[in-house]
Amino acid sequence: MRVAVTGTSGRVGGFVAQGVLRMGAELLPLNRPDYHLGDAPDLSGCHALVHCAFQHVPGLYRGGEGDDPDRFVRDNHLGSITLFETAKAAGLSRVIFLSTRAVYGTYPAGTVLSEDHTPNPNTLYGQVKWQTEQDLAALNSATFRTASIRATGVYGPGPHNKWRTLFNDYQAGRPIAPRRGTEVHGADLASAVNLLLTSTEDGPFNVSDILLDRQVLLSKVAHLTGTPHSPPRRSKDIVNAMTCERLLDLGWKPRGIDGLVTCLPELIESQT
């Protein structure tokens, strides 16, 4: 199998690329300067496409449009449609799109979100992802199977370690705001992609694993590093978790909180 993956130099795309190689497939990375959103790349010989590339202000997804929302929509929505149509014309049989939990918008606090909940995005980021999901689904056919991954926050070691600044600030004694949210390890997201690459199931799939409070995370960092500073208080936020039954039914097994604890030393080491 030859799999094209866009955005392999990014946080999530890098994990997906590693996962594709682990499954023994041939990887075609699509990155700048050779590929830009809006291009129609040569996908000859590819069997599948995983679309992770996303144009945004550095460090921001929600709010990633900055002061140019028109370009944000053009690059990310219209550019994605061009890519999907190119894949279908090239005869690929499988396309997976990296979407986001932001498509759900603001359901009441405590709502457990499943794929049956109607998306109601309240940010341009969520709107663009949701519209792109729908346009990809409209291309679905018996010979061109499509799926979208609604991912939560993605953590993991490496150059894009999302907690690098958080860990550095905590160890330096700088104030840390309380927060809790849902997370999934990048390698577990990649394993979800691999499952879908070998499946004909279509539609959206939630990808989430643990509900994590910064107080818990930084307490574990303190234990491992000997940091003397007190972690922030526990957050009072009520988070809308996501169910992942569709993926679990396919055999997906995320690592859970024990897996986070196991990989935490590597995460701390990769912050520098």
- CA-CA distance, 196 to 244, in Å (whole number)? 13
DSSP secondary-structure letter at 229? S
Per-residue pLDDT tens digits for 53-83: 998 655 556 565 666 789 889 999 999 999 9
d(CA 148, CA 130): 10
> How far is the C-alpha of 150 from the C-alpha of 103, rounded, in Å?
8
pTM of the model: 0.94
Q: What's the mean per-residue pLDDT of the chain?
A: 94
- At residue 65, the pLDDT reads 62
Q: How confident is the model at residue 11 (pLDDT cuts 50, 70, 90)?
A: confident
User: Quick check: bond before 265 cis, omega within 30?
Assistant: no
Q: Which residues does 265 contact at the CB level (< 8 Å), separation at least 6?
A: 224
Residue 253: pLDDT band with limits 50, 70, 90: very high
